[in-house]
Amino acid sequence: MNLEMQQFKAEFFKALAHPLRIRILELLAEGDKSVNEIQSLVGSEGSAVSQQLTVLRTKNIVTGTKEGTRVIYSLRDPMIIELLKVAKQIFNNHLVDTITILDKMKDSNAE
């Protein structure tokens, strides 16, 4: 794989590396939303949401479309939804592995 692709991937994942940005993407996976809607749903102050949207916009992960005085945000690429699903599955796989290890430890301590 070429260096440019590796750099792109590193920068892309860096842009996703914040819990509020992930939450915003999960909300946008459900449909386009205004800043006010996002703020209300995440229960966070406006400046925090705006900062995270700026990062996502700068990295071309979300787009903003002006509608009157509002800006409506949407996912730039619907494959983000699949990426979030895959990340959740990886988390679940790790969780299952951890539970299995803990069960084995519990069984060996009971003996």
Contact 36, 73 (CB under 8 A): no
Per-residue pLDDT of the chain (111 residues; tens, 9 = 90+): 699 999 999 999 999 999 999 999 999 999 999 999 999 999 987 799 999 999 999 999 999 999 999 999 999 999 999 999 999 898 888 887 788 887 788 777 776
Question: CA angle, 75 as apex, 4 and 94 as ends, to 5°?
Answer: 70
**What is residue 103's predicted lDDT score, i.e. its pLDDT?**
77
Class of domain 1-76 as given by CATH: mainly alpha
The ranges assigned to domains in the chain are 1-76, 78-111
**What is residue 106's predicted lDDT score, i.e. its pLDDT?**
78
Closest by CA position to 9, among listed 53, 59, 58, 55 = 59
**What is residue 1's predicted lDDT score, i.e. its pLDDT?**
60
Q: How far is CA 42 from the centre of its chain?
A: 13
